[in-house]
Amino acid sequence: MGGLAAALACSRAGWQACVYEQAREFREVGAGIQLGPNATRILIDWGLEPSLSAIAARPQRLQVRSAYNGRELGRLDLGDRFAQRYGAPYLTVHRADLQGVLADGAHRAGVELQLGSRITVVSPGPDVVRMRVGDTHQAESDVLVGADGLWSEVRSQVCRDGPPHPTGHLAYRTLAVQADLPAALRSQDVTVWLGPRLHAVAYPVRAGEQLNVVAIVQGTAKGPAHDWDQAGAVGELLAAMGPLCQPLRDLVGAMPSWRLWALQDRPPMQSANEMASGRVALLGDAAHPMRPYLAQGAGMAIEDAAELGRALASATDPASDVAMALRGYALTRWQRCARVQARSQRNGRIFHATGLMRWGRDLSLRLLGERLLDQPWLYRR
């Protein structure tokens, strides 16, 4: 997704872009994504609003509830006033649907897409970046953008800083057709449930026809660290969640099946050097993996792509301007991304709080509500 967004932005900036995608076909994988106005504003600017509107849900509110007793702790209006305040709406989408919108936009912009193409060797040089694709195919380019996710092959060869680290948190995700759920469990809003050492999020996708649910608990996965699509058992999830209010227990039990992955991340970035070096740049999770506690993983990748396009638009001479343009991209982006990484980690501690911290969190939400839940520093970008 980050690669498609980057290719589209670079094509709009006048570059010929090619996406090397290791999957042999685009499949319907993953689940839901929340897109704040900082991200939807960019997608609209790229001319994708009609396609986005056809596949997105537009929740009217965010409500935060206690996972233990079900009481509402706070809420944030996400409707028309929110969209007017930030100049773009808050949308929720299925990952595959957003991928399709970006792929269609990239195709119309002239982007070349090569499926089943995994970059295995990267050789940056002063004048060109050479790559080996698969076992034998050789390719070269003026710029290489590593948008290959948390376990980035490009990062491993350029930064050589080792693999990401386990967070001790497990994410269970599921999707259900809303019409198949009991009426009391259907929703067109974003609902966040907070409890000791856990939280859950539910929101609509696919124009509201399906409900996406993610539950995050503390623990260790049994499978390989890089496997983000393990089978999850509802019994194990409920045992890990502990005492729950009946509505949340009913929601978890009503979902048809669960998938599981162990969350991994890296420390917040410390410098621009972690985003660009010479003719190679990193983007999205390859540069700054995000814990999902601020719902900005996709948003930061889309912001990265837009800034990359702006930076490369100024590189009128690929022979001499590229490294400077990528350096400018990294200098513009790294501090904001590091702040979002740090805030996401902080939110995780608050969401899963116990004892006095949990009591203070709940009281603050009841007293301040929207003032705590709104994020002007993030959305006004």
CA dist., res. 356 & res. 370, Å (int): 22
Do residues 373 and 322 lie in contact, with contact meaning Cβ atoms separated by under 8 Å? no
Distances (CA, A) of 87 to 41, 51, 144, 268, 368: 7, 18, 33, 29, 24
Q: Which of 90, 203, 293, 329 is catalytic?
A: 203
Q: Does residue 203 have an active-site annotation?
A: yes
Residue 14: CA atoms inside 13 Å, Cβ hemisphere, count? 9
CA dist., res. 378 & res. 193, Å (int): 22
Residue 276's nearest CA partner among 316, 311, 247, 243 is 311
CA dist., res. 343 & res. 113, Å (int): 35
CA dist., res. 219 & res. 196, Å (int): 13
Do residues 26 and 38 lie in contact, with contact meaning Cβ atoms separated by under 8 Å? no
Query: 151: which 2 tokens?
Result: 């376990």
CA dist., res. 128 & res. 275, Å (int): 18
Query: 319: which 2 tokens?
Result: 């022979």
Query: 70: which 2 tokens?
Result: 């079900």
Q: Which helix (H) or strand (E) holds 4?
A: helix 2-12
How many C-beta atoms lie closer than 10 Å to residue 362's C-beta? Answer: 18
Distances (CA, A) of 186 to 100, 203, 205, 247, 250: 26, 9, 12, 11, 12
Instruction: Tell me which DSSP letter residue 381 carries.
Output: -
Distances (CA, A) of 235 to 181, 232, 298: 19, 9, 30
Do residues 123 and 129 lie in contact, with contact meaning Cβ atoms separated by under 8 Å? yes
Query: 282: which 2 tokens?
Result: 């990193």
DSSP-derived 3-state class of residue 218? strand
Residue 118's nearest CA partner among 152, 160, 143 is 152
Residues with catalytic annotation? 203
